[in-house]
A and B are shown apart, each in its own frame.
Chain A
C-alpha cells in the first residue's frame, strides 16, 4: 500500500532508529482465523479482490477446490482445501485461508535491500510500499511462508496488506467484514488471544483434544493467527509449518555478514593507505634503470 498515516516501527534497509515516541498503548492488532468455523465459501477472497481492486486472470479448473491455485500478485489470499483421512476412516475437510501471516519478525523485511520498500507499522502490520520496491525478489527468499509474489507487469512485490488502509481509519480488514460465519475476526492481539482461548475451550469440549492457537514463536508471533482443531499437526492444513522461522541462511546473509563484510572491505582499503604512508611506494631508481639497460646489452651481446 502507498504511504499512509500509520506510525512505522521497522523499515527495510534502514539502520537508524525509527521514531518511537508514539506507540499504541493497546498493543498490536491481529486477525484471528478460526479454521473450525470456515465453510470455504471464498467470500473473503472476493472481498479482498473488491476492496483492493484486484482482478486475477481467469484460470482453469484442475479438479480441486483451490481457486486460484496459488497466491499471485492479484490474489493476496487463497482458500486451501485439504482432505484428510482420519484413523477411524472418516474424512476431514480442512480449509485454511492462506496469505501473509504478518510476522512480528518479518523475514521479507529482513531480506529487503531497498530502503522503505517493506515496513512494519507500530500496530504490527507488515506492508509493501511498491513505489520503493525494486523487484529483486529477496523478500521471496526471506519469507518463511512463501507469500510475496512479484508482478510480471511492473516487477514489484505484492501481498496481503491486512487492509492497512482500512485499519488506519478504524475499520477491520475487508475479509473480516465479509466473513458470513464469523470465522475471521479482528482486534487487538491481546483480545484475539482471549477470543481464541474461548474457541479452543469449546473445541476441546467437542472432542478436539489438540485444538490450539497458531501464533508461531519462531517468527516472533504473527499478526494473523489461526485457531486449529489439530494444533499439534499444523502440516495437515496444506503444509502449514510447525515451527516456522527465518531461514538460518537468510539470517547469515542478512545478519552478521553485512557489517562484517563492509568492515572487511574498509579495512582492506585502509591497509593499503597506511602501507603507502608507512612503507611507501616501490620505485625504480635511476641507477636501477641504468643497470637494466647495461644488463640488456650484455645479454644481447652474449646471444650473438
Chain B
C-alpha cells in the first residue's frame, strides 16, 4: 500500500500528503536544488565550481531556465493544492509574536495550530512572491530567446531582481528544510505521506481534531 495506516509497531497513522501531493512536492524540490546550485554558480565566483552539477558553464546557461519553467509549473500546482490551508487565520499573528516559544520547543504555550502554522503560511506566500519574481525576471534574462525584446535597463533590473528573489527563496528553503529536520516526523510526512497521532496532535492540534472526527482508526 502506498500510504500505510499503521506503523511497524501497529500504531495508527494519519495521512498528511497523498502520493500525488508528495510527487508534486519532490519534483518542485529537485528542480529547486538544481536551480539553486546552478544559479549560485552564476552568482558568485566562489560558487562557480557548482556549474558541474548541470555539466559545466554552457550547460548551466542552457538548462537553468528550462528547469526554472518546470519548477514554476510544478510549484503552481502545489499552490492550487494547498492554498486553502494557507489562508491567514486568527491565531497566526499571535503564533508569530511568540516565535521565541516556537524556536525553544515550547509548543504548548502557542495558540492551537490548524493544518499549517503561521510560519509555514508565511513561507507559502513568500515562495509565491519569489517564484513570480524569478519567473518574470528570468524570462527577461533569458538571452537566447527573450532578452533582446527588452531595453537594456530592464535587463539590468531583471538581473538584480532575479538575484534578490533567489537569495530570499534560498534562505527560505534552508529554513524550510531545517524545520523538517528539527521537527521530527515531518520528513516522514512528505516521504511516506503519514504522521503519527502524537505528531498531529502536538504540532497541528486543530487539524488533528478535524481529521480524527472525519476518519475511523
Contact = CB atoms under 8 A, between A and B. Distances in A.
A285 B196 CA distance: 11
Given A134-B57, A299-B212, A282 B200 contact: no
B209 A299 contact: yes
A64 interface: no
A113 interface: yes
Interface residues of A, number: 53
A257 interface: yes
Interface stretch (B85-93, B120-128, B155-163): B155-163
A155 B212 CA distance: 59
Given A113-B42, A134-B60, A155-B58, A265 B174 contact: yes
B206 interface: no
B160 A253 contact: yes
Interface string A271-285: 010011001111111
Interface residues of B, number: 57
A166 B207 CA distance: 75
Nearest to B58: A134
Nearest to A303: B213
Contact of A284 (B41, B175, B198): B198
Contacts of B109: none
Given A249-B153, A272-B174, A265 B198 contact: no
B181 to A, nearest CB: 7
A276 B196 contact: no
Interface string B59-99: 01100000000000000000000000000000000000000
B65 to A, nearest CB: 10
A198 interface: no
Contacts of A283: 184-185
A70 B56 CA distance: 32
Interface in B14-47: 41-47
B48 A299 contact: no
B151 to A, nearest CB: 11
B104 A262 contact: no
A137 B143 contact: yes
Interface stretch (A90-98, A181-189, A286-294): A286-294
Contacts of A293: 11-12, 197-198
Interface of B: 11-12, 41-48, 57-58, 60-61, 103-105, 107, 141, 143-144, 147, 152-153, 155-157, 159-160, 163-164, 167, 170-171, 174-175, 177-178, 181-185, 196-203, 208-209, 212-213, 216-217
Given A113-B45, A272-B178, 19 more contacts: A113-B41, A115-B45, A136-B42, A140-B147, A141-B159, A155-B144, A252-B160, A257-B163, A258-B44, A261-B43, A268-B171, A276-B178, A281-B182, A281-B184, A282-B107, A282-B182, A292-B198, A300-B216, A300-B217
